[in-house]
Chains A and B, each alone.
Chain A
Amino acid sequence: MEKKLFLGDEAIARGAVDAGLSGVYAYPGTPSTEITEYIQEYCKATGKKLHNRWCTNEKTAMEAALGMSFAGKRALVCMKHVGMNVAADPFINSSITGVNGGLVVLVADDPSMHSSQDEQDTRFYGKFALIPVLEPSSQQEAYDMMSYAYDLSESLKLPVLMRTVTRLAHSRGVVELKEARPENGLNPVGGSRDWVLLPAIAKRRYASLLERQPEIMRLAVESPFNSYTAEARRFEMGIIACGNTFNYVNECFPDGVPFPILKISQYPIPVETIRTLAEQCDSIMVFEDGQPFVEEQVKGVLASDCVIRGRLTGDLPRQGELNPDIVKTALGIPTLEHPDVAKNVVARPPALCQGCGHRSVYEAINIVLKDYEGAKVFGDIGCYTLGALPPFQALDSTVDMGASITMAKGASDAGVFPAVAIIGDSTFTHSGMTGLLDAVNENAPITVIISDNLTTGMTGGQDSAGTNKFEAICRGLGVSDEHLKVVVPLPQNMDEITRILREEIEYRGLSVIIPRRECIQTLKRHAKERAAQKEEKKA
């Protein structure tokens, strides 16, 4: 079959398509964004009509995917790890309703926080929901796992959680494709009230989920993606390697790993196999990216005095992703001879693009707020979070999607003045609208700046759900016309922007200012696309 050079994300996307997917539901988030983008491009190129439009947030995505599953078709929902916190309500309850068409929940974790505010480990969510979790170790495995995951989901009648990490999501490898399976036909759930989670029904459904746990464990022990290799003799040490950490261990031993090694790519942890490993070894070293999820559980299931080592014992760092050198050191293998770290190198942090509209917004904020001693600025998640760095250093907080408005309100309730919130357009529709309604209902004396660049910028310029709707949304929520202002964030408009900002801060009630100018990255891209279209027409 055909071979492709795929990012881990693209392998997942194509794996889902070839497994008979009918729709993907997602909100952009690094490192998961390229999954949905691949499916969008695939549909454009082939004319296939799979649902692929971006959703407003991860919760709406999760629910829509569950709806597609209810209707009997195969659905994929993708998000970054913190997106799972937003989707958690429908996610957890989807293990109680169960599924009809196969449902895979794909979560891309970001250990080392390359582009995130924490490094939470999604495997805990799988354990929480009592469903199978898959964790691929390579691009090929990621591709192969998708059809397995959909079959597993449909045979267990449960959602399957698939966890990947930045290193696999954003790394390319060669993938051999398989024959594609057709989509499921329309076949909605009927004649049952299993999906109506009234307490009486939910109790019965939860009991059924618990009854299936031994089966879910058996499937993990027998999984084609978990492997245990060992000679029949006693060893000083054994290894457990989860997901892509398996590669780092293999990299250390080009001629084969001289210890018993259990690779885990399907959870719950295969307890029987771990006991077998423990019987053969004096100690076990656990390699896993993220938190010590397996290490902690292994300690709990072993009665023997086998020593467990890993992130909790200090043999591996408690924080950050693993890499070949960390694994080498933990295994007592010397690092290769190498040049010293260079002297003339300094950090080069990311910055807002030259010409970006957010720059004018921060400049205005800094000009006006220097006249207010107690001013606090509550930021949000997106490119404009870079306003926290030099030259602007304009933010006092950044916590999660939407927290700018609600934290400004809480701080204002406590007496902070002025309290300014700055939030991007896509983040506002993701999780800012409900907080703005709270502020409207109390006419909170805060100034909310919705910095609208007509796109989801940080993740590469995806469509933003609220484009052209922001004034209507604000009015609909009850923001008064007199205190709803739109400006164009350009340096030549600085006098007007600062005047309006000052007036609205002085107004002791709720104001919304919308600086609006297209992201210069998407502006350039759109210009190129138009030029290319012209060329095509000429030809």
Chain B
Amino acid sequence: MKTDIILAGVGGQGILSIATVIGQAALEENLYIKQAEVHGMSQRGGDVQSNLRLSDKPIASDLIALGQADIIIAMEPMEALRYRHYLSPDGWIITTSNAFVNIGNYPDQQAVLDELREMKNVIMFDGEKLAQENGVARSVNMILLGAASKALGSISFEKLEDSVRTIFGRKGEKVVEDNLKALAIGRECE
């Protein structure tokens, strides 16, 4: 079983934290992992993406080919669209509907959402609203991961929770609780 995931967002939105949590859980599941990240210049408010590949067999390439991704997990709708052509015909897009407008020429927001809805399999939700209503405003990324958790067939939800505990543990109990709560909220998103 192989799962190819593209994580997308804007620098600072917590995309790499999602990758770290999945990666740690995959390690606990004894899976093979390859995860290519973007560091450096693009982290300053530019687009950030990560290619995450999980498999029960050795993985060759660090990068995902066109048409190969099973899931695109995005913190931002235009960033989800940016990698659309990497998605396999049966692949899923899981994204928030919250546009992050830090550029002057951001496309018409409705057109972005409409183009996403044209896709076969899309889960899209207002992550910011959901996070605020539940008092976990800083954990939109973990809500998103929760929403994607069912698509991560080879990783159990419990392992994701363990991973959140391990990764956020040094930031204190409150941060761990908020992130676990966010993860559970996301799991209910359809």
Write the residues of chain A forming the contact surface with B, with a CB cutoff of 8 angstroms: 3, 5, 7, 30-31, 33-34, 114-115, 167-168, 170-174, 244, 247-248, 250-251, 323-325, 328, 335-353, 383, 386, 390, 458-460, 532, 535
Contact = CB atoms under 8 A, between A and B. Distances in A.
Contacts of B33: 5, 172-174
B42 interface: yes
Nearest to B112: A344
Contacts of A3: 27
B47 interface: yes
Contacts of A168: 62
Contacts of A30: 39-41
21 contacts: A31-B40, A170-B39, A171-B36, A172-B36, A173-B35, A174-B27, A247-B60, A323-B63, A324-B64, A336-B65, A338-B88, A340-B85, A343-B111, A348-B10, A348-B102, A349-B103, A352-B44, A386-B44, A458-B40, A460-B39, A535-B172
Q: Which of A336, A343, A345 has the most CB of B within 10 A?
A: A345
Contacts of A335: 65-67
B62 A244 contact: yes
Contact of A341 (B10, B85, B102): B85
A348 B171 contact: no
Interface stretch (B76-84, B123-131, B151-159): B76-84
Contact of B67 (A7, A167, A244, A337): A337
A234 to B, nearest CB: 27
B43 to A, nearest CB: 7
Contacts of A324: 61, 63-65, 68
Contact of A532 (B63, B108, B112, B172): B172
A460 B111 CA distance: 35
The bracket for how many chain B residues form the interface is 35 or more
Contacts of A34: 39
Q: Which 5 pairs, one residue from A and one from B, show the smallest C-beta to C-beta distance?
A: A336-B67, A338-B67, A115-B40, A350-B46, A30-B40
Nearest to B10: A348
Q: Which of B39, B111, B119 has the most CB of A within 10 A?
A: B39
Nearest to A324: B65
Nearest to B170: A532
B177 interface: no
Contacts of A172: 23, 33-37
A314 to B, nearest CB: 21
A31 B115 CA distance: 35
Contact of B105 (A5, A336, A346): A346
B171 A532 contact: yes
A395 B87 CA distance: 39
Contacts of B81: 342, 344-345
B135 interface: no
Q: Which of B43, B44, B68, B85 has the most CB of A within 10 A?
A: B44
B41 A337 contact: no
B11 to A, nearest CB: 7
B40 A459 contact: yes
A144 B177 CA distance: 39
A248 B61 CA distance: 5
B68 A336 contact: yes
Contacts of B10: 348
A344 B78 contact: yes
B40 A348 contact: no
Nearest to B23: A5
B168 interface: no
Nearest to B87: A339
A369 B74 CA distance: 42
B38 to A, nearest CB: 7
Given A336-B65, A345-B78, 5 more contacts: A5-B27, A30-B40, A171-B37, A338-B66, A349-B103
Nearest to B44: A350
Contacts of A171: 34-37, 62
Contacts of B64: 324
